Amino acid sequence: MNDELYISLIGEVFDGYSEGLLEGSPIYVRHINIRDQRYLQKYYEKYKNIALSRGVESQEDREKRVIEDGIWTHEEDQKIESLRFEVDNLKKTVKTIFLPSQQQEIRDNLHERLKELGDLLVKKKEIIGQTADDYATSRSNDEILRFSLYKDPNLNELLYSEDQFAELETWQVAQINKIQEEAHQRLSETSLQEAVLRPFFGIYLSLCEQPSEFYGKPIVDLSVYQLKTVLFGRMFHSIFQYTEDIPDNIRDNPQKLIAFSENQRNRDSKGGSGGLRDDASASAVFGATKEDMQTLDLGGGANVSLREEAAKHGGKLNMQQMMRLAGEDV
């Protein structure tokens, strides 16, 4: 994505809406804010009660019944909770790992657990089927969608009245949802992070401390995308202020920049590279690969992976060999 597209992305965030075409005519989809989330809960309760009054089972009641009928088990529910707990712990653990290669191992494990959890949740949903909670979620989302659609870029006139929206064909609602989903993907967290790291946004980073002043309106009126943009701006501004020796080739890469900052904090909290002498000509870290050592090199000395060096000597290093690797004269 070039700078022009990133500038357009930030402009879309500042506008507070996304533009699309519906049956050849432009429509404007306002980005949701905290007030919309309040109304979402209100409509959710309204439609859940309607579904319950029509005899549709709630999620809770349906779950109890499928267990009583023997087509789902408590053990499977316990497995889901266990996987959720493991996923949460892996997400926390990856932020505390010192070595990039070990971080990747954790991420690979996290990906496997997420897939296993997703498969179980899909299986459970297929067994449970449609519930009053599902109906409420779908209808409340439709309500919020109607209040997000406008005829003009000033967001003065709604595109549909309640009656008009209720008469829309299924394919028309699907088309509107597609426009909204495309905007959501375009304004993903990764894209916003990349945008605030582009040179054109650099002059705004220090201004992200006060969101209401940055946008010139109260926090409650800010869209989710506007809040995320200043949040990422504050985060990266802090990294640039308090993280030393950031390599130039990662300054515009959000994932690598965050990882580098976390590695530096972990390194500082653990007292540097394993307690070796500051004037040693080499740095050695247990379990590190050459790529790890290159990433963690802050002093320009020769970096050595103990794991790889040990492999050269049959999997073991004696004290003399380890001292040599650390730059000691022996």
State the Cα angle at 224 between 218 and 229, rounded to 5°. Answer: 90
Q: Checking DSSP bridges between strand 282-285 and strand 302-305, what pairing results, if any? A: parallel
Q: Which residues does 172 contact at the CB level (< 8 Å), separation at least 6? A: 22, 23
Are 240 and 266 a contacting pair, CB within 8 Å?
no
- How confident is the model at residue 283, as a pLDDT? 47
CA distance 252 to 239: 12
- How confident is the model at residue 263, as a pLDDT? 76
Q: Which long-range contacts (CB under 8 A, 24 or more apart) does 94-98 make?
A: 95/262, 96/266, 97/266, 98/263, 98/266, 98/267, 98/270, 98/285, 98/296
Q: Which of 62, 46, 106, 113 is nearest to 86 (CA)?
A: 113
* Higher-scoring residue by pLDDT: 44, 94: 44
pLDDT tens for residues 89-146?
A: 998 887 766 667 777 888 899 999 999 999 999 999 999 999 999 999 998 988 889 9
Confidence of residue 281 (pLDDT cuts 50, 70, 90): very low
Q: Is 275 left (phi over 0), alpha (psi -120 to 50) or beta?
A: left
Token pair for 179: 């426009």
Q: Checking DSSP bridges between strand 25-30 and strand 149-150, what pairing results, if any? A: antiparallel
CA distance 75 to 83: 12
- How confident is the model at residue 190, as a pLDDT? 93
Q: What crossing angle do the helices spanning 254-269 and 100-128 adopt, rounded to 10°?
A: 120
pLDDT tens for residues 172-224?
A: 988 999 999 999 999 999 999 999 999 999 999 999 988 888 999 998 899 99
